[in-house]
Structure 1
Amino acid sequence: MAIISFHLDDCDEKIIRNYAKSKNMSISSFLRSVVVEKIEDDIDDELYQQALIESKNDPRDITLDDIKKVMDQYSE
């Protein structure tokens, strides 16, 4: 398992420590969840922007089966 370190001022450290404690999480678990959520949100935003562009270029309807096929690619 990798270790990543970074510097925080005392105020930020206290906020993070207290928030993680209020959620009954370790600081590592809390920060890991926040970082992963941020990455997932950014990927979602990119996919949304790509979908907007594609729908403008090809404004056809997509079936639920089509969506399931695409989503299945991500679960492999």
Structure 2
Amino acid sequence: MATMTIRMPDEDAELVRRFASFEGVTISAFARSAILEKIEDTHDLQALRQAIADDSGERFSIDEVLSELR
């Protein structure tokens, strides 16, 4: 497993320590989760932007969708 070092001001480090403690997780678990969530959010935003760019403007009512599923 790789090790990474993060440098931050003491006040920020204390905030991270306190928040991780509040959540009942280690600092490593908190940082790993936060980093991976940020990556996922960025990926989701890129997918949304692509979907908007590809949008043809065609829309369907809920009744039309349900009738197709039956």
The match for 1:59 is 57
**TM-score, L = length of structure 1:** 0.73
RMSD (CA atoms): 1.6
Shift of residue 59 of structure 1? 3.5
The match for 2:5 is 5
The match for 1:40 is 40
Identity of aligned residues (%): 31
Indicate yes or no: 2:19 matched with 1:19: yes
Question: What 5-or-longer segments of structure 2 have no aligned partner?
Answer: 66-70
Rg comparison, structure with higher value:
2
Code of the residue aligned with 2:23 in structure 1: it is K
Equivalences, count: 61
Please list the CA deviations of residues 20-43 of structure 1 after superposition, one character each: whole Å capped at 9, or x if unmatched: 000000000000000000000000
